Amino acid sequence: MKIGLFATFMSPHANPEMMGKFGQDAEEIGVESLWLGEHVVLFDKMEFPYPGSKDGRIPVPAGGGILDTVASLGYMAAKTSKLRFGTGITLVPQRNPIYTAKEFATLDWLTNGRIDFGVGVGWCKEEVIACGYSWEDRGSRCDEFLEVIKRLWTDELASFEGKHITLQACRLDPKPIQTPHIPMIIGGHSKAGFRRAARFGSGWYGFNLSPESTRTVLADLDRALAAENRSREGFEIVITPLPNATPDQIAEYEDLGVDRLVLHLGSQRPEKITQRLEQVQEFIRS
């Protein structure tokens, strides 16, 4: 089982020196991949709370903000040679799919195929609306956008006509290095998320799951895959465990068929990162 790290890099702690050194140090101790979260704007008041914290707010340092994922991945890829990079997750239904296809194809080209495209529909209603899209139909829009992205990555002449987007026949080059295209790792713990993963995914990404919760959701995922005449054969399971996960739990996730365990990085203060990487080495040795 591969061991990766999840982080949402935030200023002021995440500066060029910190990020370059972190990528190199992570690669040196054997971390397989780094996954970055995405948010473009934040709100003081939200209809739905952030699910990853007790107070429902994204824990951003005072005066700081979340760095862009594409720029961050490109910068860190230039500082490393083996580390893979994934998005955990890219908020596809609030993005322009043509630009998204171009950005990630370029990343894959420049990293010689070290990119995984993690996908989700998001939870922040205000952010989706701020990006110029409607909230209620974000799921169906995500499906169409994924189809468009896949065609742009694989078809010499790509076109699409749907409810949410029409794409006149066009060419996108360079294509991704990876074939048939960059792996789409679909997130989401809902039935719709499982169906999306079964339809489009090279894998599925579950977030903040214990071994017990993983067992439950994998049963739902298996049913969705079966409905698409697929199975977990050749289908990657990526899990970010709870922040307090221990090395002793490694075998439990592995026995469940988890292919990648993407651990929380936690604090981005230099002294905390050093301490965390020492802990991550224990997981890797396990």
Q: What secondary structure letter does DSSP report for 248?
A: G
One digit per residue, the tens of pLDDT, for the chain of length 286 reads 999 999 999 999 999 999 999 999 999 999 999 999 999 999 999 999 887 777 778 888 888 999 999 999 999 999 999 999 999 999 999 999 999 999 999 999 999 999 999 999 999 999 999 999 999 999 999 999 999 999 999 999 999 999 999 999 999 999 999 999 999 999 999 999 999 999 999 999 999 999 999 999 999 999 999 999 999 999 999 999 999 899 989 999 999 999 999 999 998 988 899 999 999 999 999 8
Split into its structural domains, the chain has a count of 1
Q: Which of 255, 84, 110, 265 is nearest to 183 (CA)?
A: 84
- For residue 144, give both structure tokens: 């169409």
* Domain assignment of residue 202, given as a range: 2-285
pLDDT value of position 50: 85
Q: How far apart are CA 77 and CA 79, in angstroms?
A: 5
**Is there a contact between 9 and 19 (Cβ–Cβ < 8 Å)?**
yes
Show Cβ contacts of residue 54 under 8 Å, excluding neighbours closer than 6 positions: none
- What CATH number does residue 101 fall under? 3.20.20.30
pLDDT value of position 51: 79
pLDDT value of position 61: 85
How many Cα atoms are found within 13 Å in the side-chain-facing hemisphere of 261? 27
Q: How far apart are CA 192 and CA 121, in angstroms?
A: 10
Q: How far apart are CA 60 and CA 84, in angstroms?
A: 25
pLDDT value of position 43: 93
Instruction: Kindly write down the DSSP assignment for every residue of 93-152, as one continuous string.
Output: GGS-HHHHHHHHHHHHHHTTS-EEEEEE--S-HHHHHHTT--STTHHHHHHHHHHHHHHH
pLDDT value of position 52: 72
3-state secondary structure at position 237: strand
pLDDT value of position 88: 96
Q: How far apart are CA 252 and CA 248, in angstroms?
A: 8
How many Cα atoms are found within 13 Å in the side-chain-facing hemisphere of 193? 22
What is the identity of the amino acid at 179? Answer: T
pLDDT value of position 252: 95
pLDDT value of position 47: 92
pLDDT value of position 271: 87
**Is there a contact between 187 and 206 (Cβ–Cβ < 8 Å)?**
yes
How many residues are listed for the chain in this entry?
286
Q: Which of 178, 173, 143, 174 is nearest to 160 (CA)?
A: 143
Instruction: Kindly write down the DSSP assignment for every residue of 5-55, as one continuous string.
Output: EEE--BTTT--HHHHHHHHHHHHHHT--EEEE---S---SS-SS--TTSTT
Q: Which of 104, 131, 94, 98 is nearest to 36 (CA)?
A: 104
Q: How far apart are CA 68 and CA 70, in angstroms?
A: 6
Q: What's CA 102's distance to the chain center, in Å?
A: 17
Q: How far apart are CA 116 and CA 78, in angstroms?
A: 16
What is the identity of the amino acid at 149? Answer: I
Q: How far apart are CA 88 and CA 46, in angstroms?
A: 21
Work out the number of other CB atoms within 10 angstroms of the CB of residue 245: 21
